[in-house]
């Protein structure tokens, strides 16, 4: 008999309980991004510096990629004001990623 596996989604549109909440943002003038979270009642942050070929959108994405990589095996809520990044994250789980001409975007997606 054929068995069909149903993968449990790793993305939720609702905030996860008992998860770290990470706020991400990037600045066009400063060309820096930040990830901010609360740990042991204290706010922590990580500054991500732009690479020469970063756009504001790829810099915003870099902050989210950093956060997801930092808490790879821990439930995490990501809060971003970038519709570009939110759109990518919501679609990436079951997406077929093709080669893109933007080297920086390709680097962040792979």
Q: How many residues does the chain have?
A: 110
**16-62: per-residue pLDDT in tens?**
999 999 999 999 999 999 999 999 999 999 999 999 999 999 999 99
pTM of the model: 0.79
User: Residues 6 or more apart from 53 whose CB is under 8 A from it?
Assistant: 102, 103, 104
- What is the pLDDT at residue 107? 76
- What is the pLDDT at residue 89? 82
Is the predicted pLDDT of residue 9 greater than 70, yes or no?
no
The gap from C-alpha 101 to its chain's centroid, in whole angstroms, comes to 21
- Match domain 20-109 to its CATH number in 3.40.640.10, 3.40.50.720, 3.40.50.300, 3.30.420.10: 3.30.420.10
Is the predicted pLDDT of residue 95 greater than 60, yes or no?
no
- What is the pLDDT at residue 5? 66
Q: Please provide the average confidence, as pLDDT, over all residues in the chain.
A: 87
**Domain ranges within the chain, ordered by starting residue:** 20-109
Q: Decide: 68 and 37 in contact? Cβ < 8 Å.
A: no
**pLDDT, mean of residues 71-98:** 84
- The dihedral sign for the CA sequence 79, 47, 27, 70: negative
């Amino acid at each position: 008999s054929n068995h069909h596996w149903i993968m449990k989604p790793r993305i939720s549109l609702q905030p996860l309980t008992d998860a770290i909440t990470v706020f991400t943002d990037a600045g066009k003038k400063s060309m820096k991004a930040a990830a901010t979270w609360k740990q042991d009642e204290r706010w922590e942050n990580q500054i991500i510096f732009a690479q020469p070929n970063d756009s504001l959108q790829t810099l915003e994405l870099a902050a989210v990629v950093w956060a997801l990589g930092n808490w790879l095996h821990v439930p995490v809520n990501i809060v971003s004001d970038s519709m570009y990044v939110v759109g990518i994250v919501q679609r990436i789980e079951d997406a077929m990623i093709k080669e893109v001409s933007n080297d920086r975007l390709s680097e962040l997606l792979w």
